Structures are given as C-alpha cells and as structure tokens.
C-alpha cells in the first residue's frame, strides 16, 4: 500500500479480529517500522515486546480489558526509557515513543492489519506496572502503549477529519471561520 493510502486508511480499530495469526515476518516488519522512527538526540529510547503466545495474550487481556485486546492474535507492548538521554538538556522520550507508535500503526495498516493505540487504560489500576511485571520489564523502563494487531473482522474507516483550512495555514495562524 502506498504511504498516503495508509495514512488515509489508518484508524483506531476497537472491533474483533478474524481467527488468523499474524506471521512473525509481518510482526518484525511492523515493529521495525517503529524502530526506524526518529528520536531526540538519537537516544532510541523506545523498545517493544511482541506478544503472540496465546496464554501470554490471555494474561495480558486479564490485565487490560476489552474485546480488542482479548481477541487480538498479537499484541505489541511499547516501552519507554525516560532517562535514555539523561546526560542531555532535554528528554524526548514521549515524542520518541509517539513517533514509533505512529510508524507501527501505519505499517500495520499498509500490511492489511488493524490496531488501536491503547494508553489511557494502562494508567488505571496499575495496569502498566502489572504488564511490566508480567513481561519481565526491567526497572527504569515504562510500559506506555499497548497495540493489539490483527486482521479486522469488520470493515471500518477513519473518522472524518476537519478540513485543511480549519487546522492548517501557510505563513501564520488564521482563525478558522466561525459558523453563525
């Protein structure tokens, strides 16, 4: 799939998946897209755990509720190292993992898979910490995002976006025209 098609088709998929695994070669390609993302100071503060083992996926689903997690044939857990650039003036770990996750979402879409960026649910009930314990994440790394990946069971599309003229301008900010 061409890049701009993937951007147009990428959407947050929260439905079920067909009962078909995601081949490891595809998972490697998807995660490699995340590893290729830019990072502040080239700190490369983002890493990933790919969960494709059925019993481990079930254990993750027991921590993070929802059909999309429960039925996903693969899960990608995004880890961030807030101190990767500790000797520098600034830390860009949030920007780093955000760029990596977007690359992963686009790569998954380009290969015909669907996913959704799960973040807020990890902040409740110590879910991120519980996932870290389950997956043996070393101290100093944080579980930040969970990405279920699979072939979607139903066709969905990206929600409508506001037009260019309401969100982007050349050579300075222009207030969007208000409707009366």
**pLDDT (tens digit, 0 to 9) for every residue of the chain, 180 residues total?**
899 999 999 999 999 999 999 999 999 999 999 999 999 999 999 999 999 999 999 999 999 999 999 999 999 999 999 999 888 899 999 999 999 999 999 999 999 999 999 999 999 999 999 999 999 999 999 999 999 999 999 887 778 989 998 999 999 998 876 554
**What pLDDT was estimated at residue 156?**
79
Question: Is there a domain that residue 8 lies in?
Answer: yes
Question: Is there a domain that residue 21 lies in?
Answer: yes
Question: Is there a domain that residue 176 lies in?
Answer: no
Place of tokens 């254990």: 59
Look up residue 135 and give its two tokens: 């997956």
pTM of the model: 0.92
**What pLDDT was estimated at residue 148?**
98
Question: Is there a domain that residue 180 lies in?
Answer: no
Q: What is the Cα–Cα distance from 25 to 4, expressed in whole angstroms?
A: 23
Number of domains in the chain: 1
Question: Is there a domain that residue 165 lies in?
Answer: no
The domain that contains 147 carries what CATH number?
Answer: 3.40.109.10
- List the domain range (segments joined by +) for residue 147: 3-153
Question: Is there a domain that residue 174 lies in?
Answer: no
Question: Is there a domain that residue 120 lies in?
Answer: yes
Question: Is there a domain that residue 169 lies in?
Answer: no
């Amino acid at each position: 799939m061409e890049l701009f098609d993937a951007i147009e088709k990428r959407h947050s998929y929260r439905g079920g998946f067909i009962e078909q695994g995601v081949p490891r070669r595809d998972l490697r390609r998807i995660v490699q897209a995340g590893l290729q993302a830019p990072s502040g100071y080239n700190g490369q503060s983002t890493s990933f755990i790919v969960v494709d083992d059925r019993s481990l996926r079930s254990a993750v689903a027991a921590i993070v509720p929802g059909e999309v997690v429960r039925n996903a044939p693969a899960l990608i857990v995004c880890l961030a190292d807030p101190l990767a650039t500790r000797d520098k003036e600034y830390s860009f770990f949030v920007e780093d993992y955000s760029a990596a996750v977007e690359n992963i979402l686009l790569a998954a879409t380009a290969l015909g898979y669907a996913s959704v960026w799960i973040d807020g649910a990890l902040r409740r009930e110590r879910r991120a910490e519980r996932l870290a314990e389950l997956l043996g994440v070393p101290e100093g790394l944080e579980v930040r995002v969970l990405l279920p990946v699979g072939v979607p069971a139903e066709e969905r599309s990206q929600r409508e976006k506001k037009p260019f003229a309401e969100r982007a301008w050349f050579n300075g900010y222009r207030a969007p025209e208000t409707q009366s």
